[in-house]
Amino acid sequence: MSTIRVRAQESGGVVTVRALMTHPMETGTSKDSAGNLIPAHYIEEVTADVGDTRVMTAMWSATISRNPFYQFQFEGQKGDTLKLAWSDNKGESDSVEVTIG
């Protein structure tokens, strides 16, 4: 199961991307129920590519909310494949490909 849900829709030559990622986005300053600090665990980078072209890079701190939402736009066309990927501070990563509709 992918940790990413993404929709990419073209209108008038502009593609609007709405992405939801499943991730704890722990700041490292919160405590668990036993009072122990929960280690920082957050997405550092999100990238979007169409073919070999990078359309955007987002760099995040743990200030982005848990289960992050991200929306952006670029000039593109229906039928192309958009690849969205994230990587976090623990070296984990995930990616997903969707067809622009």
Interface residues toward another protein, by CB under 8 A:
12-14, 27, 29-31, 37, 44-45, 48, 53-66, 68-77
Between residues 1 and 71, which has the closer beta carbon with respect to another protein?
Answer: 71
Angle at 40 between CA 36 and CA 44, to 5 degrees: 170
* Alpha-carbon gap, residue 75 to 14, rounded angstroms: 5
Structure tokens at 25: 């986005």
**Closest distance between another protein and the C-beta of residue 98, in Å?**
17
For residue 19, what are its two tokens? 């992405």
Nearer to another protein, 69 or 99 (CB): 69
CB of residue 2 vs another protein: minimum separation in angstroms?
19
Give the CA count within 13 Å in the CB-facing half-sphere of 20.
3
Residue 26 Cβ vs another protein, minimum distance, rounded to whole Å: 8
